[in-house]
Structure 1
């Protein structure tokens, strides 16, 4: 017996949380290395690191340095998932580091409060505030000279 496929239409209003960007004085790799070390010190699990430029190279394409770090704390993210499991598409947290055409390195991430607002998640104001402040502090620490 074939499994039934159910398609549910979710509101797509403006499914684009604004990207918070910060200039980095370091290379893409060093920027994320620094962030990864800080996360380890804080007991925050790194789930994956994706090197988009290296993946592009594998298919004979060029891309300026671009890496994504995926990380989180299940004891925080699960509180959001318990309210709305669809927020799992945006969790764990992600931070992107990239080098632009002028060779400037940037660090960017979406504010968890904006992500939750887009999904209509309203009951986790304190958790979202803590996540947003933590993300801001962690990324600031990684960029300090």
Structure 2
């Protein structure tokens, strides 16, 4: 239980940093491009922070047992692509579906997507092989 709590706390720290990069970039880019394009730029800006932080810090113990670097990177990439799709859904839901201001998508991007991502990283990407 203590190990899981440590992973959650480390994931939260790295995730907060990556999410801050994502949402901050998203909000800045909104004045220059469409909401979906702003989401794409923000998401791409956060991927490197996320991969390095989660592999070397959040799940460092598990990452060593999770398989070869290429396989690990591939699984991580699948989760990243899924996270991007989820975030694109939030942007579409908020702007087109609900008619809210596009900045509100950042709330979903910052709160819901990280919970889904943690589960996928913990139980698939960094699961011991």
TM-score by length of 2: 0.35
Whichever of the two has the greater Rg, that structure is: 1
Larger proportion of helix: 2
Which structure has greater strand proportion?
A: 1
Q: TM-score, normalised by structure 1?
A: 0.33
